[in-house]
A and B are shown apart, each in its own frame.
Chain A
Amino acid sequence: MTIARVDRPRRAGTVSKASGTGGTGSLPLRRRQRRRSRLTALAFVTPLLAYLAAFYVYPLYRNLDLSLRDYTVRSFVSGDAPFSGWDNFQKVLDDPTFGPAMRHTMIFTFVSIAFQYAIGLALAVFFNRHFRLAPTLRALFLIPWLLPLIVSASSWSWMLNSESGVVNYFLHFFGVDPVGWLTSPDWALTSVIIANIWIGIPFNLVILYSGLQNIPGELYEAASLDGASAWQQFRRITFPLLRPVSAITLLLGLVYTLKVFDLIWIMTKGGPGDASSTLATWSYQLGFGSLLPKFGPGAAVGNILILIALVFGLLYIRVQSGQRRQET
């Protein structure tokens, strides 16, 4: 970078010197050149800006606009909804569904992440031993990732069915009474979390496994010469050296899990009652789930969700830049 920075003014200097012999026309020419190159640069940036504006800025703006206006179906069509300030947010925050939805979102996110990470790490360490069937088995663990979500969610919902599901069928063999996995308010959230953990393990496994590959083998050799046990090796070498990869896995996982909607919607639709409704499913429920759409409050919940994701996103950027500073 520094070299390039030194280079550029020098080249410009030679140009100006060469054109300086030309006399009076030099200054406008240079200016024209600069303008032209600026225009070229702009032409290259324009598609990107247009893309960002059309697919990121405008939808976000519309969502904010929806959440700040008092939309009814009539004003939605005619487009003259009155500005209502924070009314929609107030309505959403006062709604008896808000507390549980927020709580469920947090439990869902953090419990999912904790288990996904722990299991993913355990499997990554396990597969890092390079035994014979390791690549095949590792590939098998990727299956949840390859299946379309509608397939895996429907399968889970079928397996956990209270009347005819295989899970209750197995429990029956051990003399356990059937559990209302998706029909009991005590279990519904647990069930969707279990399914989500299963879906999230491959992501954690793959990233952590690639992180493990970057830890030099000599460290382990040296440690074992010093008489370190397997657990000590994990605690003193693997875990600390894996910290940057772990941080990124966890933060990406947070943002992904926060917005999980399809899995819950397919399995329970947020029910029974609102026992497994999260901010994401509630937002959809408000906007599209009933015959009379409530766009305003639905968008408000969506914005709250975006805000939470943004906080985690900023945290991610902070951690990442901190790491970069450590590296240099």
Chain B
Amino acid sequence: MIPNRRTLLAALAAVGTLASLTACSGGSDDGSGSTDASGGTYAFWDPYPQFDASSPWGKLVSECGTKAGVTVKRTGYDTTDLGNKALLAAQQGNAPDVMLVDNPVVSTLVEAGILNKTSDLGLDTKSIQKNIIGAGTIDDASYGVPIGANTLALYYNKKVLTAAGVDPASIKDWTSLTAALNKVKAAGKKGITFSAINTEEGSFQFLPWFWGAGGDLTKLNSDKGVAALSLWKGWVDDGLAPKDVLQNTQTTSWQEFATGDYAFGENGTWQLGNADKAGFDYGVINIPAQNGGSAPVPTGGEFVTVPVQKDSARYDVSKKIVECLTNDTNLLATDTTLTYIAPTAAVQTKQVAANPKLEPWVSAVAAARGRTSGGLGSKYPTISQPMWTAVQSALSGGKSPKDALDTAQSSAEKG
């Protein structure tokens, strides 16, 4: 009987130890939220898993921590993952101290009530361009500082255009663009590639055309929205754009353009580095609006935010870290690494001085709009998803553009 009791005790002890171990580890996670103003560890999340601790970005982050007198523990997550991770962490009460998030996610996190206003933290955002910070502004209060901005334009392959006898300067509106695509096709090359995948990337790429027709996100099925979708559908149906745009991410779309067969590729600022490696001469034009001029493009890029903590004493250090990351010198370095356009005019001037190729991108960013701007806020995701579904059903031939957008509008209204 005694050995029996011993096994019993041992078993109980084992269970107890396990329980206390897990409790302990839970406690140490909470440690990031505990008071330790002098020194201590500050949690920092960003969507750049491609940069490790030895990269310039990784070094900059830890340096900013050291300057603020703390150690920064940096974790890089996949962009698509970060929003949900942040919500879960906030629910568990262990949100990071500073977090970099993709701009359309900001309004969702604000809706969840887990971000601090920049004015409450005492961060200065006056020098930042209005349209860039717009994506992080809800009810006239901003909830983050943009680290940089990117947007979309049309890359073109000079050789293909010359062979087809197209002058890129002649492309002023949709009609001239479609005419150019037809010429390229007649010359035996491929027209244009973009990404119409059923994720946020698809909506991001469709917006310049949607807005370029004068479309309004609160009324997807207006004539203007239908015109934009019909333009895309026409290209795919006439073989001016490949069928696989439906599966293309912006990365695979870039790979198609980089084969050298395509005349145009709709892609972002962040591909500039790859463009130089592509091995052919390229140029960049702004995406034309339906009746001429540049179409408004959506802003991309991340915001530095400070999530709500139980212990508000931590905000002072968090603020120092944010200010360090977003001062002019560091913005220039970071935006050069990421090939983003800086959010302030002063740094933009420096960027263009260092690399004149950025000129068209600076003007594109100046004309860009935030997806969640204009009072849409966290309504945007409930519009964006039906929109990308509509693009998919129209391009695949399942529905006419009008029917697809009617369905999208009714499901967007339901929320």
Kindly report which residue of chain A lies nearest to residue B92, judged by CB atoms: A77
Interface string of B75-99 (1 = CB under 8 A from A): 0000000011001001100000000
**Which residues in A have their C-beta under 8 angstroms from that of B105?**
291
Q: Which of A50, A273, A291 has the most B CB atoms < 10 Å from its CB?
A: A291
Contact A292 B382 (CB under 8 A): yes
Select which of B4, B7, B8, B112 is within 8 A of A77 by beta carbon: B112
A144 at the interface (CB under 8 A from B): no
* B90 lies within 8 A of A290 (CB): no
Q: Is the CB of B111 within 8 A of A73?
A: yes
B199 proximity list for chain A (CB < 8 A)? 269, 289
Q: Is A275 an interface residue (CB 8 A)?
A: yes
Residue from the list A47, A79, A274 in contact with B389, Cβ < 8 A: A274
Using known A-B contacts A77-B91, A161-B247, A291-B83, determine if residue A39 contacts B8 with beta carbons closer than 8 Å: yes
B83 and A79 contact, CB distance less than 8 A: no
* Shortest distance between the CB of B367 and any CB in chain A (Å): 24
The one of A46, A183, A273, A291 that contacts B243, using a Cβ cutoff of 8 Å: A183
Q: In the bound complex, what is the Cα–Cα distance between A43 and B4 (angstroms)?
A: 11
Q: Which residue of B lies closest to A165 (CB)?
A: B244
Q: Which of B243-285 contact A (CB under 8 A)?
A: 243-244, 246-247, 256
Q: How far is the CB of A192 from chain B (nearest CB, A)?
A: 13
Q: Is the interface of B mostly helix, strand, loop or mixed?
A: helix
B15 sits at the interface (CB 8 A): yes
Judge whether B4 and A36 touch: CB under 8 Å.
yes
For the complex, give the distance between the alpha carbons of A75 and B199 in Å: 25
CA distance A47 to B11 in the complex (A): 9
**Residue pair A292, B381 in contact (C-beta under 8 Å):** yes
Asked whether A272 and B111 contact (CB < 8 A) given A43-B11, A46-B11, A291-B200, the answer is no
B357-415 contacts to A, CB under 8 A, are: 378, 380-382, 384-385, 389, 392-393, 395-399, 404, 407, 411
The answer to whether B396 touches A36 (Cβ under 8 A) is no
- Asked if B198 and A272 sit within 8 Å, CB to CB, the answer is yes
Q: Of A43, A74, A269, A288, which is within 8 A of B12 by CB?
A: A43
Contacting pair A291 B389 (CB below 8 A): no
The CB with the most chain B CB atoms within 10 A, among A50, A73, A184, A270, is that of: A73
Whether B198 and A36, one on each chain, are in contact in the complex, defined by CB atoms closer than 8 angstroms, is no
Beta-carbon nearest neighbor of B378 in chain A: A292
Bound-complex Cα distance A36 to B90 (A): 45
Nearest chain B CB to A206 CB, angstrom units: 33
* Interface status of B104 (Cβ within 8 A of chain A): yes
Q: With A163-B242, A163-B244, A183-B247 in contact, do A50 and B15 touch (Cβ < 8 Å)?
A: yes
Measured CA separation A240–B290 after assembly (Å) = 69
Cβ–Cβ contact B8 & A271, under 8 A: no
Residues of A within 8 A of B91 (CB): 76-77, 79
Tell me if B286 counts as interface (CB < 8 A to partner A): no
Pair A40/B7 contact, Cβ less than 8 Å: yes
Number of B interface residues in the complex (CB < 8 A): 48
The reply to whether A184 and B397 form a contact with Cβ atoms under 8 Å apart is yes
Nearest residue in A to B104 (C-beta to C-beta)? A291
Q: Interface 1/0s, chain B 7-35, versus A by CB < 8 A?
A: 11001100100000000000000000000
Q: Is the CB of A271 within 8 A of B198?
A: yes
- Considering only residues 162-195 of chain A, those with a C-beta below 8 Å from chain B are 162-164, 178, 180, 182-185
A47 to chain B, nearest CB (A): 7
A100 to B256 Cα, complex, angstroms = 32
Tell me the chain A residues, 59-97 only, with Cβ under 8 Å from chain B: 72-74, 76-79, 96
Residues of chain B in range 110-160 having any CB-CB distance to chain A below 8 Å: 111-114
Q: Are A293 and B84 in contact (CB under 8 A)?
A: yes
Q: Is B354 engaged at the interface, CB distance under 8 Å to the other chain?
A: no
Kindly report which residue of chain B lies nearest to residue A286, judged by CB atoms: B385
Chain B residues contacting A44 (CB-CB under 8 Å) are 11
Evaluate contact between B11 and A272: CB separation under 8 angstroms: no
Given A182-B247, A273-B393, answer yes or no on A288-B84 (Cβ-Cβ < 8 Å).
yes
> Is the CB of B1 closer than 8 A to any CB of chain A?
yes
- Decide if A290 touches B198 in the complex (CB within 8 Å): no
Shortest C-beta distance, B255 to chain A (Å), equals 10
- Flag if B392 contacts A77 (CB, 8 Å): no
Q: Is the CB of A73 within 8 A of B108?
A: yes
A74-B112 in contact given A162-B244, A269-B198, A273-B399 (Cβ < 8 Å): yes
List, in ascending order, chain B residues with CB within 8 A of A43's CB: 7-8, 11-12
Q: Is the CB of A46 within 8 A of B113?
A: no
- The minimal Cβ–Cβ distance linking A267 to chain B, given in whole angstroms, is 9
Residues facing B in A126-162 (CB within 8 A) are 157, 161-162
CB distance from A215 to the nearest CB of B (A): 46
Contact with B along A248-277 (1 / 0, CB 8 A): 000000000000000000001111111100
Given contacts A78-B113, A273-B392, 19 further A-B contacts (CB under 8 A): A36-B4, A43-B11, A72-B111, A74-B112, A77-B90, A157-B247, A162-B243, A163-B242, A164-B244, A178-B243, A182-B244, A184-B396, A269-B199, A273-B393, A290-B381, A290-B382, A290-B385, A292-B108, A293-B87
The 3 nearest A-B residue pairs measured at CB: A273-B393, A292-B381, A272-B396
Sample 25 A-B pairs with CB under 8 A, ordered by A number. A39-B8, A40-B8, A43-B7, A47-B11, A74-B113, A77-B87, A77-B113, A77-B114, A96-B411, A157-B247, A161-B247, A162-B244, A164-B244, A182-B244, A182-B247, A183-B244, A183-B246, A185-B396, A268-B247, A271-B246, A273-B392, A273-B404, A290-B382, A291-B384, A292-B108
Residues of B bordering A, CB below 8 Å: 1, 4-5, 7-8, 11-12, 15, 83-84, 87, 90-91, 104-105, 108-109, 111-114, 197-200, 242-244, 246-247, 256, 378, 380-382, 384-385, 389, 392-393, 395-399, 404, 407, 411
